[in-house]
Amino acid sequence: IHPNHPKGRGLSNGVNKDPDEILKLARKRKIYLDDGWRKSPIVPPDTEIEKMGYTLGSCPRAEKIANSILNLPTHINISKKRLKRSLIFLDNFHNIISTTVKNIL
């Protein structure tokens, strides 16, 4: 969830938009939105980015976005029930889930 996402702007619910705080709150509810593929403009996260020809600071926008990403659980063992809990959490907490997704739920 990017803090500048159009549906996330201007929400006056007092919610902290810091992704690390959101992840912490989600984990307290046993909802896991971090699969480790975040906080780096080059993934997987254990990639030696210098060997890939990337220099930290050379693309600050990508680095900022990488630090604001949350990942929905998509692994093979995720149940529809757990995915639904994740989506409802995000919707109730941030009101950013689209109507299309809500209709699927």
Residue 43 scores a pLDDT above 80: yes
Q: What are phi and psi of 31, to 5 degrees?
A: -115, 125
pTM exceeds 0.95: no
CB 77, CB 83: distance < 8 Å: no
| ∠ CA 40-85-43, rounded to 5° | 15
pLDDT in tens, 20-37: 888 888 899 999 888 777
